[in-house]
Amino acid sequence: MSILNNTRELQRIDAAHHLHPFTNTRELNGRGARIITSAKGVYLNDADGNRILDGMSGLWCVNVGHGRKEIVSAVANQMEQLTFYNTFFNTTHPPVIELSRLLSEVTPPQFNYFHFTGSGSDSNDTIFRMARYYWELEGKPEKSIFISRRGAYHGSTVVAASFGGFNSMHKQGGLPIDGIYHAPSPDWWSNGGDLSPEEFGRKVAAQTLALIDGIGAHRIAAMIGEPIMGAGGVIIPPKTYWPIIAQGLKERDILFISDEVICGFGRTGQWFGCEFMGTEPDFMTMAKGITSGYVPMGAVAVSDRVAKVLIEKGDEFTHGYTYSGHPAACAASIATIGIMRSEKLVEHVREDVGPYLKEKWLTLADHPMVGEAVMEGLIGAFQFTSNKSARAGFPEAAKIGFTAREHSFQNGLVMRAVGDRMVIAPPLTLTRAEADDLVEKAARVTDLTYAYAKKQGLM
């Protein structure tokens, strides 16, 4: 048998030579990594012959489903035509031109300019520099501070990880960098106490504006936020939260950055999460769904307000990546947007499979160990609890989320665990039958995890 057909041998080589992202290598190597070998639609196949429903769209990215020939041939054709050319030094190429035009059509009306990057992290680093440069050109260089939030995820580069609100990330590498402040998270389940979600949303929004006023709005360049926090556990903020913040930022002349890396490209049942939340950002961070993950790509949507100043008052913006506007990535993105439009995937999520899955998903909260279940569009979560009415958690050492994630994989469903919160974001092509399969499997996982918790004397 060839080495590449032997799971254990592949795991041994992986352990010997591959340092995985966001992974404790020592623990992984003790276990052996799961090897995914192929995928079609919403299902993955692993090296042991298991078929697994990809409830996470890879890593929140394969929005149009796996193995779409249209994208594969668009990329192949582009690579035969023009494999690479840069977009520095007064050059451009047809796919980047076409993609820029398409993005201006699918994004909210204030966005007509796009700067291309290689990832979501790069995009946030780009925005950090671009927003500061904007205020410098406006004669207000003191507006240099950024507001983000605890529990937010914005990427792993130095600026993006500093924007992020995870202590575990800040601890490594001496972050955050200066000039970034974190407002409280709108996580009602963990922090809402006796307040209703609406009251809690108003309270956190007021705390955020108080933080801003304490620092001084004249010193603040921008605030960044995900419409729905993804990697932080699919925290869907109370309806009262974003409108108050968006209005407060406008009144204080602070730019707003909507990080759409997860929420963009149809995830919430709108093209972009800011449309779902009713905000009007000055920048949007984009990646993942922009190419449905087929080829790496990120982008920054720059509003007319900002672009006008950069173009009319600015000199050369001394920033860019070799792969800014890579032809193959542009081809993948054009094909992705083509599929989303022709298959009406945004409408499919908003009007069909989204509400269908939500109704079933929310019933998971009837389980004695599940405190809440939430979903908007095709992004959702449920929270394990040892006591529903007290919204009590489990000790970290009990590894509830981790155990549930293992049960999930073993029962043919990828769910991600964020602490003891299980999250899903399946491909937007999900059918009703696949949604049934997903919820059935998730329900089985809750039962198995409940049995484990009882056995451990945790319930």
Residues that bind ligand PMP (CB under 6 A): 119-121, 153-155, 226, 230-231, 259, 261-262, 285, 287, 298
Angle at 186 between CA 181 and CA 187, to 5 degrees: 120
Containing 357, the helix (H) or strand (E) segment is: helix 354-362
Complex with ligand PMP: residue 132 or 154, whichever CB lies closer: 154
Query: Which residues fall within 8 angstroms of residue 336, CB to CB, at 6 or more apart?
Result: 63, 64, 71, 265, 289, 290, 291, 292, 294
> Smallest distance, Å, CB 245 to ligand PMP?
17
Residue located via tokens 């006591």: 387
Q: Is 99 left (phi over 0), alpha (psi -120 to 50) or beta?
A: alpha
Complex with ligand PMP: residue 263 or 331, whichever CB lies closer: 263
Complex with ligand PMP: residue 148 or 240, whichever CB lies closer: 148
Handedness of CA 251, 106, 276, 211 (dihedral sign): negative
> Smallest distance, Å, CB 296 to ligand PMP?
8
Complex with ligand PMP: residue 159 or 439, whichever CB lies closer: 159
CA-closest candidate to residue 140, choices 214, 220, 216: 220
> Smallest distance, Å, CB 351 to ligand PMP?
25
> Smallest distance, Å, CB 459 to ligand PMP?
32
Complex with ligand PMP: residue 261 or 439, whichever CB lies closer: 261
Q: Is 205 left (phi over 0), alpha (psi -120 to 50) or beta?
A: alpha
> Smallest distance, Å, CB 412 to ligand PMP?
24
Peptide bond into 176 cis (omega under 30): yes
Complex with ligand PMP: residue 165 or 393, whichever CB lies closer: 165
> Smallest distance, Å, CB 328 to ligand PMP?
17
Complex with ligand PMP: residue 227 or 401, whichever CB lies closer: 227
DSSP 256-292: EEEE-TTTTTTTTSSSSHHHHHT---SEEEE-GGGTT
> Smallest distance, Å, CB 249 to ligand PMP?
19
Query: Which residues fall within 8 angstroms of residue 310, CB to CB, at 6 or more apart?
Result: 130, 133, 134, 137, 302, 317
Q: How far apart are CA 217 and CA 203, in angstroms?
A: 19
Complex with ligand PMP: residue 226 or 434, whichever CB lies closer: 226
Amino acid at 376: E
Tell me which residue has its CB nearest to ligand PMP: 120
DSSP summary character for residue 353: I
> Smallest distance, Å, CB 12 to ligand PMP?
28
